[in-house]
Every structure is written in structure tokens, then in C-alpha cells.
Amino acid sequence: MTMRRLLVPALGLLLAGVFVIAISCSKSTSPAGGGGGGALELNSGTLVNGASYSHVFANAAVYGYHCQIHGTGMAGSVTVAGGGADSMLVSVGPGGTLSYSPNAVTIKPGGTVRWINVSGGTNHTVTSN
Ligand SMILES: [Cu+2]
């Protein structure tokens, strides 16, 4: 009888504890205000004609990017791997085209890529996919 009197409140406390843990878990997994993804690897903002943007890539991976103004039809990639170049220069919008040239480059970890808008008058961006 006394055991049962002790067990019922103890079970109640245990269930209350599980409930609180469940609530805190659901809170931690839901994104807060659309954030939580971290900063973009590449985020040049608007590059006017003649403007350039440089980025140092610390880690080996393939980094896809596109132009936020013209969409994913204007896209390129940076492969960061051992044996790659120290640095690369990419022309943005050459000849008025919606393209990056070269649109695929390979650099080593710690290497730098510099993009320069050579469009002659069209704004572009370099933005991670
Ligand atoms: Cu563009």
C-alpha cells in the first residue's frame, strides 16, 4: 500500500519529465526564423561592371554557385582538392553572356578564386547554391 502511494507520484513526475524533454527536443529541431543553415560559402552581393569578389576556400569539396539575379541557368562550380591551383580568375558575364568563364575551376585547399564582372554593364552575383 505504501509502495503504491509512492510509485504513483513518482510515475507522475517521470511522465512530466518525459513531456518536458519532448517539448525541448521539438523546440531545438525546429528552425528559428528560417535561419540555422549558417552563412553561405559564396555571397558576393551585386557585382556591377568592373567589380570583383574574392573568396578563400579552406576545405576540400565541390562548391556550386549561381547568379542570384539571373538564376541557376547562370552557374558554375569550384572544386577544392589537393593538386589544384593556388588561385583562379573567373570572368563574370564575358561578352554580355549570362555565364562564368571558366565555369568550372579547381584550386587547392586554402586557395583563392576571384570573380570579376566583365559584362560591360550587366549586374551579376556569385552566390552559393
Ligand atoms: Cu547574372
Q: List CB-based neighbours of ion ligand 1 within 5 Å.
A: 67, 69-70, 74, 124
Quote the ligand 1 centre to 16 CA distance (angstroms): 55
Question: Rounded to whole angstroms, how far apart are CA atoms 28 and 7?
Answer: 31
Q: State pLDDT tens for residues 84-117.
A: 999 999 999 999 999 999 999 999 999 999 999 9
26 & 57 share domain: no
Kindly report the average pLDDT of the chain as a whole number.
82
Q: How far is CA 66 from CA 42, 72, 110, 128, in A?
A: 10, 5, 22, 6
Quote the ligand 1 centre to 30 CA distance (angstroms): 33
112 forms beta bridges with 56, 87
Provide the whole-model pTM. 0.72
Residue 20 vs residue 41, higher pLDDT? 41
Quote the ligand 1 centre to 37 CA distance (angstroms): 24
57 & 104 share domain: yes
63 & 102 share domain: yes
58 & 112 share domain: yes
